[in-house]
Structure 1
Amino acid sequence: MIIRRATIEDAKNLSALAIQVWLHAHAKHGINNGISSYIFSELGEEKLKVQIKDQDKTVLVVYQEKFLVAYAILNLRSTCADAPMIQTELTTFYVQEHCTHKGIGTQLFAECLRRSINDNGKSALWLAISTQNNPAVDFCRKQGMILLGFNNFELGTERHENYLLAGGDL
């Protein structure tokens, strides 16, 4: 297993993995226009290329042999409103379903923490996660993340409640 920074050449695979994981986690009742619009606008190859090039972001990929199995995106300039001392947001954390419970996510999360050194020298990050995504919430709790509060994710006209979690040197 290799964890490294993403390159532009990874963007197509990142998009495919993002769509697969996002649909598995969030399209429990099927796919509608709101979901389709979201995944094609936010998880497309070009959008991921922009994120890879963004100096304020770190995109990490996990490959097993020659296959992408997970990735994460850190926004190094995203201060948490509920905990202003935390300046790094874990905006994306996707592990292909058949690779869960194999330590891949744990190793990727540890690397995210390592790369999230804040201006105050502490390694901490925050994230928003769907309250309905029980496997992901359980994973975050196992990583020692704590609840800070709640916010909402808007998908078209629908609002979905998120937990705000934080982890690392708090």
Structure 2
Amino acid sequence: MSRLDETKPFVPVRIAVLTVSDTRTLAEDRSGGTLVARIEGAGHMLAARKIIRDERAEIAAQLRAWAQDPEIDVIISTGGTGLTGRDVTVEAHRDVYEKEIDAFGTVFTMVSMQKIGTSAVQSRATGGVAHGTYMFALPGSTGACKDAWDEILVKQLDYRHLPCNFVEIMPRLEEHMRRK
């Protein structure tokens, strides 16, 4: 079972938060604010924060820019993961991914089922990697952001988490790019 190895040092990561919304402002962005509070509360660093419209090309461009920024290790977006016509965040993420973390959506659905029952099927939360940067697309609800962070990301973004975690393999995410 998973646990923390208290003998290992905590390794903070640099996380960018992207809120996808046609209507929210920074002052009204409760989901983004929830993520920022949890990121900083866990000891990680907020590397960037932005609100962007529900436009696939704009979202993908921002994800690409942040993924190529050496000062950003992880990108978490909130909003645009549903089923309506304007929900294009998942498609934008997949436009950028080099590899998808298939189990992230599955585990998120399992967590959500405990909270909202079968309504969990309406979320298309996803995770992936591009340019050595982890990317996660979460629903726009504050509850979903809390659930994803508290039940999945806080553990996987902690180097001390056993039996394995995302942080310990960060140095190897781009090993295919090294010269042989």
Normalized per residue, the structure richer in strand is 1
Normalized per residue, the structure richer in helix is 2
TM-score exceeds 0.5: no
Q: TM-score scaled by structure 2?
A: 0.31
Q: TM-score scaled by structure 1?
A: 0.32
